[in-house]
Amino acid sequence: MTNPLFDALLAPHLGHDTVFIHQPDGGVVSHADFLDNAARIANTLNHAGLQPGDRVAVQVPKSVEALALYAASVMAGIVFLPLNTAYTTEELSYFIADSGAALVIGDPSSAEALQGIADNVGASIMTLGANGHGTLMDSASTMPASFNVVERGEDDLAALLYTSGTTGRSKGAMLSQKNLLSNALSLKQEWQYGPDDVLLHALPIYHTHGLFVACNITLLAGGSMIFLPGFDRDRMIELMPKATSMMGVPTFYTRLLDDDRLNRDLTRHMRLFISGSAPLLAETHEQFEHRTGHRILERYGMTETNMNTSNPYAGDRRAGTVGFPLPGVEVRITNPEDGTPLPQGDTGVVEVRGDNVFMGYWNMPEKTSEEFRADGFFITGDLGRIDDDGYLTILGRGKDLIISGGLNIYPKEIEDFLNDQPGVGESAVIGVPHADFGEGVMAVITSAPDAAPDTDAIMEKITTSLARFKHPRRIVVVDALPRNTMGKVQKNVLRETYKDSFTG
């Protein structure tokens, strides 16, 4: 038995002084130095008592050291659990407790709050800041730069990513070594990544897109990354001539288009622009191609499956579609009522099957069973159709998922909060078109029988209860929510009514 992820992503670079990371200050980190650091961190995890299969919950700013922590987890057979840096303490409490994390690693500024959470579940705590400082690296600096890599099989759990449902509690998607590696292999092939590629990386690394797509492909190809802390338009434009590719969410592209410096001369060294995590407007496609001569490549994925489909690297990249199934991935459209496959061209539920599809939901066997067909297809909950040429188009989300700025937002969580506020009778949270973020969060609420809601007070309260990206951009008070004959709130009616709230 070997360790598939280590063998494919990391082992080929041991001792190699080729550049892996270009830092914003002009410094570089070689593959060898990166892996030395990862080995020191792996020894630290081992010294802290973590065993293969244990979970490490990580809520830290983006840094080279944070990425090395992921590599260290692979080496040590630890299950990596990255958490959005915007999550509040209240939200973190659930993820840490539910996962049974043995170690929590957070920013030094949140150490006190995290200590309280860790104490409640018997976990240890360490810190790691944006500058690489903290108790994790203090300990790692005393450790050897070599590590006896733990043997793992392709079906062993490698990562745990929480993805909330529209009802019930958040679910931990279990991703195996095979899930992650098979996807990286397919994407490297389809997008023709090689050792000469330099990826302009401004995505977060607590997310599938920024970590398991961007970083895994770069490691597998032996390429390098310009590793930015986040999206900064001026820095992106300054550094783009040094890159060959970029991965982003639609917001990246709309904001770049707002700058006259984005032109053919700036992008002449680039070979590929990729967009995902939210739908890209056809208008953005057209404007970007007109300005740069490059046609953005859209793809389709989700937390549970990594990437499923992609527009072709060499071929017609069709705006509004997400292309064809990746090698080894099967996609079908089924009747939402009974799951029977539908003819090509019909709209239905998107289902996928392949080595990229996750193992199931952590500690939720019944929920896992509900989301898989007997023949192994995973029911994504997205609505779509496949045209006569085989291109998949995503038409909506049957579970009312909102994607804003590339981040998944689940209305039920926000509705539960709103319904508990003074003066609120009931609420419905919807996503409506937003030129910058793809979708913006909007809340429609009614008054309680004996009181009226104070929307300003609600907005103030929500800042300490939910991550910022989940905050409604507008709250509207209405007399009653529209319902069908069965009494169910008609969110489609609300979306139509308020579709111009952020664009009109």
Q: How confident is the model at residue 348 (pLDDT cuts 50, 70, 90)?
A: confident
Q: Which of 95-109, 166-180, 431-445, 483-497 has the highest mean pLDDT?
A: 95-109
Half-sphere exposure of 175 (CA within 13 A, CB side): 27
Q: Which of 28-37, 288-297, 425-434 has the lowest mean pLDDT?
A: 425-434
- Show Cβ contacts of residue 182 under 8 Å, excluding neighbours closer than 6 positions: 328, 354, 355, 356
Q: How confident is the model at residue 320 (pLDDT cuts 50, 70, 90)?
A: confident
- Show Cβ contacts of residue 78 under 8 Å, excluding neighbours closer than 6 positions: 45, 50, 52, 53, 54, 55, 56, 72
To 10 degrees, the CA torsion angle through 137, 139, 142, 145? -60
Q: What is the mean pLDDT of the chain?
A: 92
Q: Are strands 198-201 and 324-325 parallel, antiparallel or unpaired?
A: unpaired
401 pLDDT exceeds 60?
A: yes
Alpha helices in 100-249 (DSSP H): 111-121, 135-140, 177-190, 216-221, 233-239
Residue 167 confidence (pLDDT): 44
Residue 51 confidence (pLDDT): 97
Residue 328 confidence (pLDDT): 95
164 pLDDT exceeds 50?
A: yes
485 pLDDT exceeds 50?
A: no
Q: How confident is the model at residue 492 (pLDDT cuts 50, 70, 90)?
A: confident
Task: Calculate the alpha carbon distances from 331 to 304, 360, 402 in Å.
Answer: 14, 18, 22
- Find the mean pLDDT for residues 448-474: 90
Q: Which of 46-50, 73-77, 176-180, 497-501 has the lowest mean pLDDT?
A: 497-501
Residue 489 confidence (pLDDT): 77
Backbone angle region of 446, left / alpha / beta, with phi > 0 → left and psi within -120 to 50 → alpha = beta
For 219-254, how does the pLDDT look when each residue is reduced to its tens digit (9 = 90+)? Answer: 999 999 999 999 999 999 999 999 999 999 888 998
Burial label, 420 (beta-carbon count in 10 A; 0-12, 13-18, 19+)? exposed
For 352-394, how does the pLDDT look when each residue is reduced to its tens digit (9 = 90+)? Answer: 999 999 999 999 999 999 999 999 999 998 888 999 999 999 8
Alpha helices in 31-171 (DSSP H): 31-47, 64-76, 89-99, 111-121, 135-140
For residues 251 and 203, the answer to whether their CB atoms sit within 8 Å is: no
Residue 382 confidence (pLDDT): 87
Alpha helices in 250-281 (DSSP H): 250-257
Report the run of H or E that residue 415 belongs to, with start and end. helix 411-419
Residue 170 confidence (pLDDT): 81
Contacts 24+ apart (CB under 8 A), 391-396: 391/311, 391/318, 391/321, 391/322, 391/323, 391/324, 392/300, 392/309, 392/321, 392/322, 392/323, 392/324, 392/325, 392/331, 392/350, 393/320, 393/321, 393/322, 394/279, 394/300, 394/322, 394/350, 395/347
For residues 121 and 100, the answer to whether their CB atoms sit within 8 Å is: yes
Residue 397 confidence (pLDDT): 65
Q: Which two tokens stand for residue 68?
A: 């090395």
Q: What is the pTM of this model?
A: 0.83
- Find the mean pLDDT for residues 147-165: 91
Q: How confident is the model at residue 208 (pLDDT cuts 50, 70, 90)?
A: very high
Q: Which of 48-52, 116-120, 408-412 has the lowest mean pLDDT?
A: 408-412
- Find the mean pLDDT for residues 124-129: 97
Half-sphere exposure of 312 (CA within 13 A, CB side): 8
What does the alpha-carbon distance between residue 315 and residue 286 come to, in Å, rounded to a whole number?
A: 16
What does the alpha-carbon distance between residue 137 and residue 387 come to, in Å, rounded to a whole number?
A: 52
Q: Which of 385-389, 423-427, 483-487 has the highest mean pLDDT?
A: 385-389
463 pLDDT exceeds 60?
A: yes
Q: Which two tokens stand for residue 98?
A: 């539910």
For residues 481 and 426, the answer to whether their CB atoms sit within 8 Å is: yes
